[in-house]
Amino acid sequence: MSWVEALILGIIQGLTEFLPISSTGHLYLGRHLFGLDDAGLYLDTMLHVGTLIAVFVFYKQEIWHVIRHPFSKLTLLLIVGTIPAVVVGLLFKDYFEEISTTGSTIGWEFLATGLFLWFADSVKKGFKKMDDLSYRDALFIGTFQAAAIFPAVSRSGLTMAAALMRKLDRETAAYFSFLLSTPAICGAVMLQLKDVVSGEVEHISLFSLFVATCSAALFGYAAVKWMINYLKHHSLKTFAVYVWVLGIVVLVCQYTGVF
């Protein structure tokens, strides 16, 4: 893997982790185009580290608050919202790793993501702010996050859609969606690090890994900031149309044997 390919994969990870269009699905397509289907777990881990850096920097005040006040409402909201993903991840880890490797369902998953985005954007405009967020809201949003364990189902897309369904206003929906990603990405990194330590590390240059991590962090930070501002005045339906088109293209390519 060249540093240019690492740069592009980092950009893809950074942008699509927080835009509601699925990072895992886009990385699968990016790797396939570069002939890097076996780029490996080590690269995945470092890409997630990059996006983790992005949310840590953007939410540094909130994370510091959680550390200093482990029993605050915000901390408990994040715990409640993370529980469904933990349960589903532990119970079905092997199954989802298998379908992530084959990519056989990603076309349909892009289409499903679009349906959720379109429906949520059609819901009557919400009014709730962070102070109005209940534990029931957090659990509902977290349940949608658990469904995003499918490779091409967008985590940010589903959590934003769920937040809009629970009558959060658009800005707050994006804000809580990205904040809720922090424990999810932390968990993914820790699980991957465990596998990396116990297995054989792929032969990828340290410079390429550094480039991938930095680009994921920089573009991830930009995507978080941009998306929160974008949702104040714009629709999710643009992203729904995009993933529908992409899903159809992927399905056509799969059924015609292109890949």
Q: Look at residue 97 in the predicted model and tell me its pLDDT.
A: 65
- The model's pTM: 0.89
Please report how the helices 237-255 and 106-122 are oriented relative to each other, as an axis angle in degrees rounded to 10: 160
Model confidence at 257, pLDDT cuts 50, 70, 90, reads: confident
Per-chain mean pLDDT for the chain: 88
Residues 189-244: tens digit of each pLDDT = 887 776 666 665 566 788 988 999 999 999 999 999 999 999 888 889 999 999 99
What does the alpha-carbon distance between residue 16 and residue 30 come to, in Å, rounded to a whole number? 12
Residue 242: name the closest of 9, 22, 17, 11 by CA. Answer: 22
Domain count of the chain?
1
Could you report how far apart the first and last alpha carbons of the chain are, in Å?
Answer: 20
Model confidence at 38, pLDDT cuts 50, 70, 90, reads: low
User: What does the pLDDT average to over 37-45?
Assistant: 69
Burial 227-246 (b: 16+ CB within 10 A, else e): bbebbeeeebeebbebbbeb
Residue 62: name the closest of 148, 152, 133, 143 by CA. Answer: 133
User: What does the pLDDT average to over 62-66?
Assistant: 94
Q: Look at residue 145 in the predicted model and tell me its pLDDT.
A: 93
Q: Which domain holds residue 26?
A: 3-255
